[in-house]
Structure 1
Amino acid sequence: MENRLLGCIVGGAIGDALGYEVEFWLQKEIEEQYGILDRYILHEGKALISDDTQMTLFTMEGLIQEGEDILDSIYNAYLDWLKTQQYKTIQKGRSSLLEFQELYSQRAPGYTCLSVLEANERGSIYRPINHSKGCGGIMRVAPIAFLKKDILFKDQLAAQVSALTHGHPLGYIPSAYHVHILSRLLEGYTLVDAIKDANRVIPSIFEGSEKLIRLIEDAITLSKNTLSDVKNISLLGQGWVAEETLAIALYCCLRYEKDFNKAIVASVNHDGDSDSTGLVTGNISGLLTGYDKIEKQWKDSLECMDIICMECKKFIEKLK
Structure 2
Amino acid sequence: MSYRSRVRGCLLGGAIGDALGNPVEFLSTHRIRERFGADGLVDLLGDPALITDDTQMTLFTAEGLIRADVRGKDVALVVYRAYLRWLDTQHRSGPPDDADGWLAGHAFLYARRAPGNACLSGLQSGRMGTPADPANPDSKGCGAVMRSAPFGLNPRWTVEEAFGAAVECAVQTHGHPSGYLAAGAFAAITHRLVLADLGLAAAIEGTLELLRRWPKHEEVTAALEQALTLDRAATPERVETLGGGWVAEEALAIAVYAALAHPTDVRRALLVAANHSGDSDSTAAIAGNLLGAWHGETALPADWVSRLEGRATIAAVADDLASEFLHGADLHTDDEWTTRYPGS
1:200 aligns with 2:227: no
User: Does the 8 Å CA contact 1:61/1:95 hold for their aligned counterparts?
Assistant: no
Aligned ranges 1:5-154 → 2 under 5 Å: 5-35=7-37, 36-42=40-46, 45-66=47-68, 67=71, 68-91=73-96, 92-130=98-136, 131-147=138-154, 148-154=156-162
* Stretch of structure 1 that moved more, 29-38 or 234-243: 29-38
- Please identify, of 309-318 and 275-284, the stretch whose mean Cα deviation from structure 2 is larger: 309-318
Contact 2:99 2:105 in 1 (8 A): no
Q: Which stretch of structure 1 is more off in the superposition, 123-132 or 253-262? A: 123-132
Judge conservation of contact 1:7–1:291 (CA < 8 Å) in 2: yes
Once residues 283 and 31 of structure 1 are traced to their aligned partners in structure 2, the CA distance between those partners, rounded to angstroms, is 26
Structure 1's 228 and 246: CA in aligned 2 closer, same or farther, altered over 3 A?
closer
Structure 2 residue aligned with 1:189: 198
SS in 1 for 2:271: helix
Question: Distance between the aligned counterparts of 1:69 and 1:94, measured in 2?
Answer: 18
Is there any run of 5+ residues in structure 1 with no aligned partner, and where?
none
Moved more, 232-241 or 286-295: 286-295
Letter in 2 for 1:72: L
Taking the aligned partners of 1:72 and 1:149, their CA distance within structure 2 comes to 18
Equivalent residue number for residue 285 of structure 2: 279
Return the match for 1:298 from 304, 310, 324.
304
The 4+ residue runs of structure 1 with deviation greater than 6 A are none
* 1:176 is aligned to 2:184: yes
The amino acid that maps onto 2:186 is H
Cα deviation 1:110-133 (Å, max 9, x = unaligned): 111111212222212221222100
Q: Corresponding residue for 1:209?
A: 217
Q: TM-score, normalised by structure 1?
A: 0.96
Partners of 2:27 and 2:106 lie apart in 1 by 30
Alignment check: 8 A CA contact 2:131 2:171 kept: yes
Q: Give the 3 Å change call, closer, same or farther, for CA 280–191 of structure 1 in structure 2.
A: same
Q: Counterpart of 2:131 in 1: which secondary structure?
A: coil
Structure 2: unaligned runs, 5 residues or longer:
327-344
Counterparts of 1:135 and 1:244 in 2: how far apart (Å)? Answer: 8
CA distance in 1: counterparts of 2:160 and 2:294, whole angstroms: 21
1:101-153 deviation per Cα after TM superposition (whole angstroms, max 9, x unaligned): 11111111111111121222221222122210000000111111111212111
1:77–1:94 CA contact under 8 A, matched in 2: no
What fraction of aligned residue pairs are identical, expressed as a percent? 37
Q: Separation in 2 of the partners of 1:168 and 1:295? A: 36
Distance (Å, rounded) in 2 between the aligned partners of 1:22 and 1:111: 19
Q: Deviations over 1:220-274 (max 9, x none)?
A: 121x35x452121111000000000001011111111111111100000001100
Contact 1:233 1:248 in 2 (8 A): yes
Give the CA deviation at 1:94. Answer: 3.2
Task: Please say if 1:257 is aligned against 2:266.
Answer: no
Residue of structure 1 equivalent to 2:337: none
Q: Counterparts of 1:142 and 1:25 in 2: how far apart (Å)?
A: 26
Q: How many residues are matched?
A: 315
Q: Deviation of residue 93 (structure 1)?
A: 4.4
CA distance in 1 between counterparts of 2:301 and 2:44 reads: 13
1:248 is matched with 254
Contact 1:80 1:93 in 2 (8 A): no
Q: Which amino acid aligns with 2:153?
A: F
Cα distance in 2, alignment partners of residues 135 and 194 from structure 1: 21
**Structure 1 counterpart of 2:204, one-letter code:** I
